[in-house]
Amino acid sequence: MPRNDAISQSSNTPSFSVNIQYWKVGAIGLALFFSIPLLTTFFSIFIPNGEVWRHLYDTVLMEYLGNSLLLMLGVGVLSLLMGVSSAWLITMCQFPGSRVFSWLLLLPMAMPAYIIAYTYTGILDVSGPLQEWIRTSFEVGFGDYWFPDIRSLGGATVLLSLVLYPYIYLLTRAAFIEQSVCVLEVSRTLGCNAYRMFFKVALPLARPAILVGLSLVLMETLADYGTVQYFGVATFTTGIFRTWFGLGNNVAAAQLSAFMLLFVILLVYLERRSRKQSQYYHTSSKYSQINPIKLKGAGAALACSLCGTLVLLGFIIPVYFLISWAVATFSSVIDEEFLLLIWHSFSLALTTAIIALILAMFFIYGKRRYSGPLMNNATRFVAMGYALPGTIIAVGVMLPFAWFDNTLDAWLREEFEISSGLLLSGGLFILVIAYLVRFLAVSVNGVDAALAKVKPSMDEAGRTMGLKDAGIVRKIHMPMIKGSLLTAALLVFVDVLKELPATLILRPFNYNTLAIRTYELANEERLADAATPALAIVLVGIIPVILLSLSIRKSRPGYNARS
């Protein structure tokens, strides 16, 4: 019997070794492939381009830098105030509507920043309903009264904060939920009131999660193009577009992207450091139900007002006007072209989501099966793309693929007198690659969290039944985590549907999506006509928000149903 086991083990060893090699080679190859945008952007720094840079420095570079920093600072501060305060109120306090607000506060997450910018412009602009009401009610003309300019750096700051604070709210609330009630109760016995308990105990414990949320907000702010372009705010993203399409200098656009990349690297570093620091903030392992602070009178009214204002401004008002405009223009907008837009958007998003899910299963199962520094680093590397703005990814993808197409075409013309055309950079292939680079991290993280809950003994049981790696994934893992797989695919689907800058740069000629059509109509000041495609994007975006809300309700042991 021992001899048979030894023979079986020795016969399986070469196959196992071959599988490891194939898996590692595949993982490294894919990781390198998806690092093309990052490497292209980085190495563009070494291409001589002094005259253009001197022109940019003398004219607009300092404006790009100053506006980007001010925008990040303003959005960061406002999002912190909105996200942390609302998370604390929902988690630790009880007031009228608190259970409903726990998921309503996430709804602005479904609203892309550029759509809320277009909507509020239609509401607050000179020809909008609010200013018309002011002129009619007070019998004044345009210029006889002061009204804040929505198309400004301040307007962009407020609107971006209204749709980005849920990142901080979501992570901070999860951190508050996971904190031990024992620690909070001890602080009360030591004489801390609710105010001191928040600042002295709960806030320091939640600091790593808050910083992670803040880094996400700042990266999304830095990546935004639709809002700042529409409001005429010159930032790095608008500068990259102007350099690429205005000056026609793709090298300078890549170098601007590299400069912008420095901000991203700094934010990623700070986020990683905050995670490492989280190991110093341990709480008790004993959990019990939270006894919420019951707010009454002025306190309850203030809590309701704060949460209600965030939901009202960030979701209800924009959606109300989008629906009213969409109803008014429905008959003129819904035609064969609009149905084609839906098909383009749906097919692109679905294709990317399926490929992203397959790649995520490949990387995460490889890390699980053949764990080691190589597989772990390869998986971590492909997940870095989410930190890169769509503008940087688009520039980084376009340059090498366009170079390949041009080089191949020139060789074929010289050797065979035929033209290959734009095989890679002129079609949808390059667009899907950019989406995968940008959003593969979403599916990788989702699959990783789900597969971690499957015990390794299930894999061993499958192998004893003669299943290979593919069989284990298909017959054991996928049925057990199908809900998480669907959620991960859905998140990628919605992210692709909303992506604007990468689609603007890389889409084939005369190929539009819902996001592109919304952008084009808004730039033509046809805000009412832009409402229908914008509303379609928002309605689809609500689905993952609901899933996120449901996932955090029971995330803490012992937490009661009102959470």
**pLDDT digit string (tens) for 231-242?**
999 998 998 888
pLDDT at 183: 57
CATH of domain 37-111+150-283+295-322: 1.10.3720.10
- The number of residues making up the chain comes to 563
Which pLDDT does position 36 carry in this prediction?
85
What 8-state DSSP symbol labels residue 245? I
293-294 and 93-94: which strand pairing?
parallel
Q: Left (φ > 0), alpha (ψ -120 to 50) or beta: where does 68 sit?
A: alpha
Q: How far apart are CA 549 and CA 325, in angstroms?
A: 29
Show Cβ contacts of residue 470 under 8 Å, excluding neighbours closer than 6 positions. Answer: none
In DSSP terms, which residues pair with 289 in a beta bridge? none
Quote the tokens at residue 456. Answer: 């390794």
In the predicted structure, residue 289 carries a pLDDT above the cut 50: yes
Q: What's the whole-number average pLDDT of the chain?
A: 81
Q: What gap in Å lies between CA 4 and CA 335, rounded to an integer?
A: 71
pLDDT greater at residue 85 or residue 441: 85
* Per-residue pLDDT tens digits for 484-498: 788 788 888 888 988
Please check the confidence at residue 430 and state whether its pLDDT lies above 50: yes
Determine contact, residues 233/156, Cβ cutoff 8 Å: yes
pLDDT > 70 fraction of the chain, expressed in percent and rounded:
85
Nearest to 501 by CA among 319, 236, 268: 236
DSSP 107: G
pLDDT in tens, 317-333: 999 999 999 988 877 77
Q: What is the mean pLDDT of residues 543-549?
A: 74
Instruction: Give the range among 72-76, 126-130, 408-412, 463-467 with minimum mean pLDDT.
Output: 463-467
- What pLDDT digit, counting tens, does each position of 181-230 carry? 555 555 565 556 566 666 666 677 777 778 878 888 988 898 899 999 99
Sign of the Cα torsion 324, 328, 331, 336 reads negative
Q: With contact defined as beta carbons under 8 Å apart, do 372 and 253 qualify?
A: no
pLDDT band at 556 (very low <50, low <70, confident <90, very high): very low
The residue behind tokens 């999002």 is: 79
Of 142-151, 154-163, 207-216, 400-409, which one has max mean pLDDT?
154-163
Q: Residue 553's pLDDT is what?
A: 56
Q: What is the DSSP string of 487-515?
A: HHHHHHHHHHHH--HHHHHHSPTT---HH
Q: Which two tokens stand for residue 139?
A: 């019998």
Model confidence, pTM = 0.83
Indicate the residue type of 304: C
Between these two residues, 63 and 460, which has the higher pLDDT value? Answer: 63
Highest mean pLDDT among 111-115, 239-243, 549-553: 111-115
Rounded to 5 degrees, φ, ψ at 293 are -80, 115
Q: What is the pLDDT of residue 275?
A: 60
- Complete DSSP assignment for 152-205: SHHHHHHHHHHHHHHHHHHHHHHHHHHS-HHHHHHHHHTT--HHHHIIIIIHHH
Using alpha carbons, list the distances in angstroms from residue 28 to 200, 347, 365, 400.
Answer: 46, 29, 14, 19
Tell me which CATH homologous superfamily contains domain 334-523. MetI-like (1.10.3720.10)
Backbone angles phi, psi at 512, to 5 degrees: -110, 155
Residues of the chain with CATH 1.10.3720.10: 37-111+150-283+295-322, 334-523
Q: Which of 188, 8, 222, 236 is nearest to 92 (CA)?
A: 188
Q: What is the mean pLDDT of residues 154-168?
A: 94
In the predicted structure, residue 253 carries a pLDDT above the cut 70: yes
Q: Residue 115 pLDDT > 90, yes or no?
A: yes
pLDDT at 7: 41
pLDDT surpasses 90 at 70: yes
